[in-house]
Amino acid sequence: MRIHRCLFRPARALIDQKLDFYSQFNPSPLSMKQFTDFGQNATRTESYLFLRKELPVRLANIMKEFSLLPENLLLMPSTRAVQDLYCKSFGDLMEFEGKDANANLIDKFTDALTKIRNRHQDVVMTMAQGIMELKDAHRIDNNMEAYIQYFLDRFYMNRISIRMLINQHTLLFGDSINSHHHIGCIDPHCDIVRVIEDAYSNARFLCDQYYLASPELVVKHHNEHDKKTKYIKEAGKSADRTSVSVVYVPSHLYHMLFELFKNAMRAVVEHHSNGDDNIPPLEVLLVKGTEDLTIKLSDQGGGIPRSHMDLLFNYMYSTAPQPAASGMETPPLAGYGYGLPLSRLYARYFHGDLVLTSFEGYGTDACIFLKALSSEANELLPVYNKTCQRQYSTPIQTHDWSSQGHSAMFVRPFSTNSLNKLHSASS
């Protein structure tokens, strides 16, 4: 169970020992409310003391899990490069272990975090590269594919969480001027309609450029929960626009919506490309209940067969050579990147979800669910433990349903995704 070669640090053995130590701790998930309270009240010393332990814990948890991947994959140059990055960053953080907080040291710590964030900028692409290297070199069986799917969901979720922690610290305590009313990267009054319109208009721009046509947008919202007084005040400020707001990271929401709008536009425009009929609009329904905030995006893009649904979230299936690398023009709405699986992770990160329901022959509904209450929006984090270790040594279930059907559902019965299992296992 070694972590492959840490090129940059002479003290390999020491790093391995520290990894063993920090991986014994479970990550401490924070709620959105804790993030905002912390952001408003904590000192940079408190932030330093928390992160000095929490970041190594989160890194160590995922690095140990990384090393459980099939050896074939770990031997690929790109996968090794990613492991080396993690090793280096973990080593950087070890420099601060046990050192007393003083202004100078915390400055250095903040710089180190910025360096780590930049160093890991391209990790998603490099991992995808590693998968392509594996595809080229080896046949990938169903087990291997399941391990990789399970791992990448957890690896990217861990990455999202680490970047969130780093961003909070650097935005709150770094040199940059903190923008208006935001708390780090959190908007305590994230205006959902504004983000919807923003994502729509940017996706529409790409769509118009490529197809010379795009669907209109109709937003319906229903705000049962927010106080009527606030409702009226905001409506008075800007004509007929009412607001639905939530404590959230606008960039995460934008990422999800932009992805869903691109997919919907592509499906709708291609489905109605005969030119005869008009392009039907995209419809968004926005609802804030007492527990959930729901954003439903409905399109009439013809939908996709049920048997195809799982593939939309499958990393192996979605890992294809980048068109840009081959010198061809990049189709701007080209999907099948990691757009959907990563968007679903963003939704799940704070205990929400992203669900697609398609009606083949008609269109697709994409729903984003978010927690309406910041006290319930806890980070969902992968934990390195016995249950997780077992995933990498247990072959996928053999069929206990007849498997002559052509539905992907029955190719690998009921193992659509790992996070569902995680939810049901812990409850």
Chain residues that interact with ligand P4A, rule: CB under 6 A: 260, 263-264, 266-267, 299, 301-304, 335-336, 356, 358, 364, 366
Give the closest residue to 203 by CA, choosing from 346, 332, 345. Answer: 332
Which of 15, 267 has the CB closer to ligand P4A? 267
CA distance 419 to 427: 12
* Start-end of H helices in 26-76: 32-41, 44-66, 71-74
Rounded least distance, CB 309 to ligand P4A, Å: 9
Is residue 316 exposed (0-12), middle (13-18) or buried (19+ Cβ within 10 Å)?
Answer: middle
Rounded least distance, CB 307 to ligand P4A, Å: 13
Rounded least distance, CB 58 to ligand P4A, Å: 30
Instruction: Select which of 64, 88, 262, 351 is catalytic.
Output: 262
Our answer to whether residue 262 is catalytic in this structure is: yes
Rounded least distance, CB 257 to ligand P4A, Å: 11
Give the closest residue to 262 by CA, choosing from 317, 324, 330. Answer: 330
- Residue identified by tokens 């989160």 is 58
Rounded least distance, CB 365 to ligand P4A, Å: 8
Which of 120, 266 has the CB closer to ligand P4A? 266
Q: 362 phi and psi, to 5 degrees?
A: -130, -65
Which of 133, 198 has the CB closer to ligand P4A? 198
3-state secondary structure of 392: coil
**Which helix (DSSP H) or strand (DSSP E) does residue 223 occupy?**
strand 217-223
Instruction: Select which of 263, 288, 371, 379 is catalytic.
Output: 263
> Cβ(155)–Cβ(82) under 8 Å?
no
Our answer to whether residue 421 is catalytic in this structure is: no
Closest residue by beta carbon to ligand P4A: 335
Rounded least distance, CB 105 to ligand P4A, Å: 47
Which of 174, 302 has the CB closer to ligand P4A? 302
Our answer to whether residue 255 is catalytic in this structure is: yes
Which of 158, 298 has the CB closer to ligand P4A? 298
Which of 146, 268 has the CB closer to ligand P4A? 268
Residues linked to residue 136 through DSSP beta bridges, in sequence order: none
Rounded least distance, CB 331 to ligand P4A, Å: 10
Angstrom distances, CA of residue 93 to CA of 22, 42, 230: 12, 21, 45
Instruction: Select which of 64, 255, 272, 371 is catalytic.
Output: 255
Give the closest residue to 59 by CA, choosing from 21, 90, 26, 14. Answer: 90
Give the closest residue to 147 by CA, choosing from 346, 411, 335, 415. Answer: 415
First to last CA, the chain: 30
Which of 45, 357 has the CB closer to ligand P4A? 357
- C-alpha dihedral (202, 206, 207, 209), degrees to nearest 10: 130
Angstrom distances, CA of residue 200 to CA of 205, 215, 260, 287, 403: 9, 10, 9, 18, 41
Residues linked to residue 190 through DSSP beta bridges, in sequence order: 246
Active site residues: 255, 259, 262-263
